[in-house]
């Protein structure tokens, strides 16, 4: 995008929710490869000759705006062509009026477009010759219980008056341009760091009352409306109601009704082609005529996904587990777009805790780490001077959940053991130091992590409910309101140990020792103040009133207790009321596994399998009374089935060796391919007539350390081998 300019509508102001159409006609004598480089404030949708081609730009940070590269060759024709770009201008953070929609999109509050199309020798750039007009009759609104993550529309197809666009400023490229006199701008561009998202048309049925996608989907619907009057299109995840009492059961049970939906309202006079500007997430759609006589046809629906390949060669020995794998993968897909997202229906925001495990699930399925790298860059860019990192980013509104910062350390570590990239570790050590310094300042003279003024969310455990009368926020351990946050001690100790490993790898041994010293201090105080000899458990509070599985989990993972005592507290934790839910499952499962109690994961895995009976097509936010029908932290089956049932994990990062240690209880066979640091590894094992057989193959030469059920360990150096033992 050299020598390009940003163009804007004539007379457009700052901070409005408005939609503008930019267009340009041009002639081609012949067709060559056609490429468009494009960015916009705040968002664009690109059409070539009436065909929808792309949307964006990729979500950026406060310091970084991205441009996209789009192949438009198939949309070009010999003769006259038209480029049409719909650009939506959105209220900025400091606006004094109107809603602030799509708060995962950081923006300047202006309307601006830059574009360059190259086709052979023909180059078309956005300039003052382009025509631009505002779409009157469009009102941006928020949805029910949605906050402002998404935005909905009230639309009336009024005429557009076009006039020439005006130059706003020159385009500068953050990667190649010189910063004259050291000046920078929040409109300087960087190349999109992730691939363009996939769009594919999927069928959606209609029975005269409801449109049914057959599973939860995410993307762009395209409608034709005819008649005169007003119509409402309602998008909802499932049947059943959230408020005042959650009545969700069978997600397809129409007798439960529905009240929680997002809706577009369109006024029609004649025929209108309509597609909402922002994504729509739904499983079902309903249409209500509010005024007059209007009909609607769904012409097509384009599902939008991150371009992640989906493996088909799996079989985990149980039909319900195969189906659980499918809905888990779909859940992850619905929460991977321009960032990782907690859920596609509500916030559509990248949360640090959610993202840390989404990355791990991502790594099991493919070798693409572009979105993970971007996520780590996003969070590091958002860190405050005092080290405090926001719980979600990019986001117009700041939010802080202190413990979520710890998961940034986990992100960096998990990337290293999957890809072995020390340069990425070095890049983020400064951010890790900031997190540690912020939390270290909270440690009191007794060696306990003290209170902060922010939301101390941990998990949606049942006893940790929102209680306005007591001033209790939801998801917060009850002991928080009695004094120190007990589980922050072993939790911080665990992540300090992880951080120490990263510093050691990068040669910062003194820093590693500091981290370890602080971790040991926290472990010592945990034993002193939170262990209860009577219950033989670690309490959440210094008064030993409240207990949770979460506290026991962190004590095991941090090495506060080991061996038989670790096994004892995890066994006793099974009877506690404050149990782990889907949000915390990954770490809870790892603690059980380390104690040789992996069979205890069956209680939660059964709740996952029960989702199939309820006709869930993605994993809900919580096991019971769930708000969101799709939350990616619930995609844990991806990891458990690939890393535990198939048993494929990294053995040695430096040597790129793989360990294969299948968990064979409860099934007779399993097979599938797992992405690893050494490439794809295929495992197929079977139990039959007292004999265990395992076939292992890899696409690359690597050591594969196989742990057989009889206790023998064999290193396979060839690409493919079969081993057997008696069981």
Nearest-angstrom CA–CA distance, 428 and 466: 35
φ, ψ of residue 406 in degrees (nearest 5): -60, -35
Q: Please compute the mean of the pLDDT values over residues 657-679 and round it to a whole number.
A: 97
What is the separation of C-alpha 670 from the centre of its chain, rounded to a whole number of angstroms? 28
- The per-residue pLDDT of the chain, averaged, comes to 95
Task: Name the token pair of 512.
Answer: 């590693």
pLDDT at 263 over 60: yes
Q: Which of the residue ranges 68-72, 332-336, 470-474 would you say has the lowest mean pLDDT?
A: 470-474
- What is the residue whose two structure tokens read 């940070």? 61
What is the separation of C-alpha 74 from the centre of its chain, rounded to a whole number of angstroms? 31
Compute how many other C-beta atoms are within 10 angstroms of the C-beta atom of residue 227.
Answer: 17
- pLDDT over 90, % of the chain: 87
Nearest-angstrom CA–CA distance, 168 and 429: 39
Residue 98 pLDDT class (50, 70, 90 cuts): low
Nearest-angstrom CA–CA distance, 75 and 149: 32
Output the pLDDT for position 63: 85
Confirm if 44 and 22 have CB atoms less than 8 A apart: no
Residue 242 pLDDT class (50, 70, 90 cuts): confident
Confirm if 557 and 590 have CB atoms less than 8 A apart: yes
Tell me if residue 448 falls in helix, strand or coil.
coil
User: For the segment 406-442, what is each residue's pLDDT rounded down to a tens digit?
Assistant: 999 999 999 999 999 999 999 999 999 999 999 999 9
How would DSSP label each residue in 554-592? Answer: HHHHTTSS-HHHHHHHHHHGGG-SB---GGGHHHHHHHH
- What is the residue whose two structure tokens read 């705006």? 65
- What is the residue whose two structure tokens read 């104690």? 595
φ, ψ of residue 240 in degrees (nearest 5): 115, 155
| Cβ-Cβ contacts under 8 Å for 62 (sequence gap 6 or more) | 106, 186, 381, 382, 394
Closest CA to 278 of 21, 102, 84: 102
Q: Please compute the mean of the pLDDT values over residues 208-233 and round it to a whole number.
A: 97
Residue 243 pLDDT class (50, 70, 90 cuts): confident
Q: Which of the residue ranges 76-85, 327-336, 624-633 would you say has the lowest mean pLDDT?
A: 624-633
Query: Which is it for strands 122-125 and 679-688: parallel, antiparallel or unpaired?
Result: unpaired
Using alpha carbons only, what angle is made at residue 186 by residues 184 and 187, rounded to the nearest 5 degrees? 100
Q: Kindly report whether the peptide bond that precedes residue 305 is cis, defined as omega within 30 degrees of 0.
A: no
Strand order in the sheet with 713-716: 648-652, 657-660, 704-707, 713-716
Residue predicted with more confidence, 230 or 245: 230
Query: Which is it for strands 189-191 and 65-71: parallel, antiparallel or unpaired?
Result: parallel
pLDDT at 177 over 80: no
Task: Name the token pair of 209.
Answer: 């009352």
Nearest-angstrom CA–CA distance, 520 and 575: 29
Closest CA to 309 of 240, 229, 367: 367
How would DSSP label each residue in 476-512? Answer: --GGGGGSS-TTHHHHHHHHHHHHHHHHHHTT-HHHH
Confirm if 41 and 111 have CB atoms less than 8 A apart: yes
Nearest-angstrom CA–CA distance, 431 and 408: 9
DSSP symbol at 57: P
pLDDT at 97 over 80: no
Output the pLDDT for position 173: 80
Nearest-angstrom CA–CA distance, 230 and 208: 19
Domains of the chain: 5-136+155-191 (2.60.120.260), 198-305 (2.60.120), 651-726 (2.60.420.10)
Q: Please compute the mean of the pLDDT values over residues 684-703 and round it to a whole number.
A: 96
Residue 72 pLDDT class (50, 70, 90 cuts): very high
Tell me if residue 115 falls in helix, strand or coil.
strand
Nearest-angstrom CA–CA distance, 710 and 282: 49
Task: Name the token pair of 436.
Answer: 């540690």
Confirm if 684 and 652 have CB atoms less than 8 A apart: no
Nearest-angstrom CA–CA distance, 425 and 90: 36
What is the separation of C-alpha 684 from the centre of its chain, rounded to a whole number of angstroms? 30
Output the pLDDT for position 335: 98
pLDDT at 325 over 90: yes
- What is the residue whose two structure tokens read 């139990």? 687
Output the pLDDT for position 146: 45
Output the pLDDT for position 40: 98
For the chain, what's the residue count? Answer: 727
Q: Please compute the mean of the pLDDT values over residues 29-39 and round it to a whole number.
A: 97
pLDDT at 34 over 70: yes
Output the pLDDT for position 95: 62
Q: Please compute the mean of the pLDDT values over residues 508-537 and round it to a whole number.
A: 98
pLDDT at 696 over 50: yes
Q: Which helix (H) or strand (E) is 170 found in, with range?
A: strand 166-170
Residue 145 pLDDT class (50, 70, 90 cuts): very low
């Amino acid at each position: 995008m050299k020598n390009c300019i940003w163009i804007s509508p004539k007379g457009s102001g700052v901070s409005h929710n408005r939609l503008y159409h930019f267009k340009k006609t041009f002639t081609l004598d012949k067709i060559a490869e056609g490429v468009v480089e494009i960015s916009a404030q705040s968002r664009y949708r690109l059409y070539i000759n009436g065909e929808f081609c792309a949307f964006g730009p990729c979500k950026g940070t406060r310091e970084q705006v991205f441009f996209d590269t789009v192949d438009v060759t198939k949309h070009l024709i010999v003769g006259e062509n038209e480029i049409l770009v719909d650009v939506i201008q959105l209220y900025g953070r400091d606006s004094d009026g109107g809603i602030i929609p799509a708060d995962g999109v950081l923006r300047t509050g202006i309307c601006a477009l830059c574009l360059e199309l190259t086709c052979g020798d023909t180059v078309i750039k956005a300039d003052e010759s382009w025509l631009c007009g505002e779409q009157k009759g469009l009102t941006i609104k928020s949805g029910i219980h949605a906050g402002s993550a998404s935005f909905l529309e009230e639309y009336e197809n009024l005429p557009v008056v076009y006039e020439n666009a005006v130059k706003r400023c020159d385009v500068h490229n953050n990667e190649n341009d010189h910063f004259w006199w050291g000046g920078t701008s929040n409109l300087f561009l960087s190349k999109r760091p992730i691939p363009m998202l996939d769009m594919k048309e999927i069928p959606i049925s209609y029975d005269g009352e409801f449109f049914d996608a057959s599973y939860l989907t995410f993307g762009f619907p395209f409608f034709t409306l005819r008649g005169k009057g007003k119509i409402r299109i309602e998008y909802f995840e499932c049947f059943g109601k959230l408020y005042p009492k959650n009545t969700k059961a069978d997600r397809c049970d129409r007798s439960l009704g529905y009240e929680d939906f997002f809706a577009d309202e369109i006024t029609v006079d004649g025929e209108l082609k309509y597609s909402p500007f922002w994504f729509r997430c739904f499983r079902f759609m309903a249409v209500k005529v509010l005024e007059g006589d209007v009909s609607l046809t769904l012409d097509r629906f384009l599902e939008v996904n991150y371009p992640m390949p989906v493996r088909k060669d799996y079989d985990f020995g149980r039909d319900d587990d195969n189906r659980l794998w499918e809905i888990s993968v779909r859940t992850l897909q619905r929460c991977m777009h321009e960032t990782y997202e907690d859920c596609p229906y509500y916030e559509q925001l990248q949360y640090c805790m959610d993202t840390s495990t989404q990355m791990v699930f991502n790594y099991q399925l493919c070798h693409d780490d572009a979105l993970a790298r971007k996520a780590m860059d996003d969070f590091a860019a958002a860190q405050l001077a005092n080290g405090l990192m926001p719980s979600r980013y990019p986001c117009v509104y700041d939010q802080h959940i202190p413990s979520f910062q710890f998961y940034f350390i986990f992100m960096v570590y998990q990337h290293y053991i999957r890809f072995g990239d020390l340069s990425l570790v070095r890049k983020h050590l400064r951010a890790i130091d900031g997190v540690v310094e912020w939390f270290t300042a909270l440690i009191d003279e007794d060696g306990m992590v003290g209170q902060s003024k922010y939301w101390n969310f941990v998990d949606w455990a049942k006893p940790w409910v929102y209680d306005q009368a007591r001033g209790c926020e939801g998801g917060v351990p009850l002991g928080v309101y009695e004094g120190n946050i007990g589980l922050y001690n072993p939790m911080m100790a665990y992540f300090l140990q992880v951080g120490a490993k990263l510093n050691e790898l990068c040669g910062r041994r003194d820093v590693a020792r500091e981290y370890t010293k602080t971790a040991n201090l926290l472990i010592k105080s945990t034993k002193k103040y939170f262990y209860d000899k009577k219950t033989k458990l670690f309490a959440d509070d210094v008064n030993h009133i409240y207990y949770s599985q979460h506290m026991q989990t962190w004590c095991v993972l941090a090495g506060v207790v080991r061996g038989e005592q670790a096994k004892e507290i995890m066994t006793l934790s099974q009877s506690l009321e404050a149990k782990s839910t889907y949000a915390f499952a990954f770490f809870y499962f790892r603690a059980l596994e380390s104690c040789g109690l992996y069979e205890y994961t069956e209680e939660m895995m059964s709740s996952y399998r029960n989702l199939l009976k309820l006709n869930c097509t993605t994993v809900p936010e919580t096991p019971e009374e769930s708000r969101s029908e799709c939350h990616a932290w619930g995609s844990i089956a991806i990891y458990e089935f690939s890393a535990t049932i198939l048993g494929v994990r990294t053995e040695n990062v430096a040597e790129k060796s793989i360990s294969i240690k299948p968990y064979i209880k409860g099934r007779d066979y399993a097979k599938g391919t797992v992405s690893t640091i050494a490439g794809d590894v295929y495992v197929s094992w079977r139990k039959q007539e007292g004999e265990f057989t395992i076939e292992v193959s890899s696409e690359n030469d690597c050591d594969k350390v196989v742990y057989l059920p009889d206790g023998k360990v064999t290193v396979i150096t060839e690409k493919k081998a079969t081993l057997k033992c008696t069981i």
